[in-house]
Amino acid sequence: MINWKKAEFADYIKVILKDGTSISGTGNGISLAEDFDDEEYAKDTFFIASENGTIAIDMDEIEDIIFYD
């Protein structure tokens, strides 16, 4: 089970997606589906700041998060 509270603003993590790809960076917050005005984008979303900028990821697409302390 993913510790979302810890991941939300973790200093360094690797997010592993269900398709096998991964993204490294820092946790940059969470928005719940109810936070979005447009129903098309209303998904629970995890944000990660990577070297390529901030990336929004549908939380249903995340397999695991590895924490590097």
Q: Please, which residues bridge with residue 28 across strands?
A: none
Count CA within 13 A, CB hemisphere, residue 3.
Answer: 7
What does the alpha-carbon distance between residue 22 and residue 63 come to, in Å, rounded to a whole number? 10
Is the pLDDT confidence value at 2 over 90? yes
Q: State residue 7's pLDDT score.
A: 97
Residue 42, helix vs strand vs coil: coil
Binned at pLDDT 50, 70 and 90, residue 36 comes out as confident
Structure tokens at 56: 């929004």
